[in-house]
Amino acid sequence: MIEEQLDQKQQQNIMLLVETAVNNGVQRALHPSYEWMNNKQICQWLAISKTTLYKWRKLGLPYSSVEGMSVYNKAQVNEWLLAHGNK
Protein backbone atom coordinates (compact mmCIF):
# COMPACT_ATOMS: atom_id res chain seq x y z
CA MET A 1 0.00 0.00 0.00
CA ILE A 2 1.32 3.41 -0.94
CA GLU A 3 0.97 6.05 1.72
CA GLU A 4 1.06 9.69 0.83
CA GLN A 5 0.90 12.63 3.13
CA LEU A 6 -0.86 15.81 2.22
CA ASP A 7 0.91 19.08 2.62
CA GLN A 8 -0.64 21.81 4.76
CA LYS A 9 -2.19 23.66 1.80
CA GLN A 10 -3.85 20.48 0.52
CA GLN A 11 -5.22 19.76 4.00
CA GLN A 12 -6.60 23.29 4.24
CA ASN A 13 -8.25 22.97 0.82
CA ILE A 14 -9.89 19.69 1.80
CA MET A 15 -11.09 21.16 5.09
CA LEU A 16 -12.52 24.17 3.26
CA LEU A 17 -14.37 21.92 0.81
CA VAL A 18 -15.80 19.81 3.62
CA GLU A 19 -16.80 22.89 5.63
CA THR A 20 -18.51 24.42 2.59
CA ALA A 21 -20.39 21.20 1.84
CA VAL A 22 -21.55 20.88 5.45
CA ASN A 23 -22.64 24.53 5.62
CA ASN A 24 -24.58 24.19 2.36
CA GLY A 25 -26.31 21.07 3.66
CA VAL A 26 -27.25 22.76 6.92
CA GLN A 27 -28.61 25.81 5.09
CA ARG A 28 -30.73 23.61 2.81
CA ALA A 29 -32.09 21.75 5.83
CA LEU A 30 -32.89 24.94 7.73
CA HIS A 31 -34.31 26.87 4.77
CA PRO A 32 -35.86 24.44 2.30
CA SER A 33 -36.33 26.14 -1.05
CA TYR A 34 -38.49 23.42 -2.52
CA GLU A 35 -41.72 23.69 -0.61
CA TRP A 36 -44.40 22.56 -3.04
CA MET A 37 -48.12 23.40 -2.99
CA ASN A 38 -51.09 22.28 -5.07
CA ASN A 39 -53.78 24.59 -6.56
CA LYS A 40 -55.86 24.72 -3.38
CA GLN A 41 -52.87 25.35 -1.12
CA ILE A 42 -51.41 28.11 -3.32
CA CYS A 43 -54.79 29.86 -3.51
CA GLN A 44 -55.14 29.73 0.28
CA TRP A 45 -51.57 30.90 0.82
CA LEU A 46 -51.99 33.85 -1.56
CA ALA A 47 -55.64 34.49 -0.60
CA ILE A 48 -56.72 34.45 -4.25
CA SER A 49 -59.40 32.65 -6.25
CA LYS A 50 -58.69 29.86 -8.70
CA THR A 51 -59.70 32.27 -11.48
CA THR A 52 -56.97 34.69 -10.42
CA LEU A 53 -54.51 31.81 -10.15
CA TYR A 54 -55.18 30.77 -13.75
CA LYS A 55 -54.86 34.38 -14.94
CA TRP A 56 -51.49 34.66 -13.20
CA ARG A 57 -50.37 31.38 -14.76
CA LYS A 58 -51.09 32.87 -18.20
CA LEU A 59 -48.93 35.84 -17.17
CA GLY A 60 -46.06 33.50 -16.34
CA LEU A 61 -46.55 32.34 -12.75
CA PRO A 62 -44.15 29.39 -12.46
CA TYR A 63 -45.62 25.93 -11.90
CA SER A 64 -44.96 22.33 -12.80
CA SER A 65 -47.40 19.69 -13.92
CA VAL A 66 -46.99 16.16 -12.60
CA GLU A 67 -49.39 13.57 -14.04
CA GLY A 68 -51.98 16.28 -14.63
CA MET A 69 -51.60 17.86 -11.19
CA SER A 70 -50.23 21.40 -10.99
CA VAL A 71 -47.70 22.10 -8.25
CA TYR A 72 -46.09 25.39 -7.28
CA ASN A 73 -42.70 26.03 -5.71
CA LYS A 74 -43.17 28.57 -2.92
CA ALA A 75 -39.75 30.21 -3.42
CA GLN A 76 -40.27 30.56 -7.19
CA VAL A 77 -43.75 32.01 -6.68
CA ASN A 78 -42.32 34.53 -4.20
CA GLU A 79 -39.68 35.60 -6.72
CA TRP A 80 -42.30 35.94 -9.47
CA LEU A 81 -44.58 38.02 -7.24
CA LEU A 82 -41.74 40.35 -6.29
CA ALA A 83 -40.79 40.79 -9.94
CA HIS A 84 -44.37 41.38 -11.12
CA GLY A 85 -45.87 43.26 -8.17
CA ASN A 86 -46.64 46.96 -8.00
CA LYS A 87 -43.54 49.11 -7.97
CA proximity to 74, closest of 23, 55, 82: 82
50 found inside a domain: yes
2-36 pLDDT, tens digit each: 567 888 888 888 888 888 877 777 776 666 666 89
Q: Quick check: is 61 in a domain?
A: yes
pTM of the model: 0.60
Residue 87, pLDDT above cutoff 60: no
Residue 48 within a domain: yes
Q: Is 57 inside any structural domain?
A: yes
**How many independent structural domains does the chain possess?**
1
Could you read off the pLDDT of 33-66 as tens digits, one per residue?
668 999 999 999 999 999 999 999 999 999 999 8
Phi then psi for residue 22, to 5 deg, are: -65, -45
